Amino acid sequence: MAENEVGNLIRNLRKAMALTQEQFAAKLGVTFPTVNRWENQKAAPSPLATEKLQKLQTQLEKKGLLKTSSLPSNEKKQ
């Protein structure tokens, strides 16, 4: 998945939860600038953050609040 798609997916997750970047960051245990960088394609989530995001995505999909592409897995690129 392209980095810009990851940023858009993260933004969609946050908006589906009706949270600000600050609130979303607190929920994930990261800083506001981190979420901002993810959404603006300046950085990619760490494997741990990706795992947390995948869990949120699954929860939102089960509730019918989100229908998007999946986040990339934690597999290493070669």
pLDDT, tens digit (0-9, with 9 covering 90-100), for 27-48: 999 999 999 999 999 999 999 9
With residue 58 as reference, give the H or E element that holds it.
helix 47-62
Q: Which pLDDT does position 75 carry in this prediction?
A: 45
Query: What domains can be seen in the chain, in order of their start residue?
Result: 3-62 (1.10.260.40)
pTM greater than 0.75: yes
CA distance 60 to 20: 17
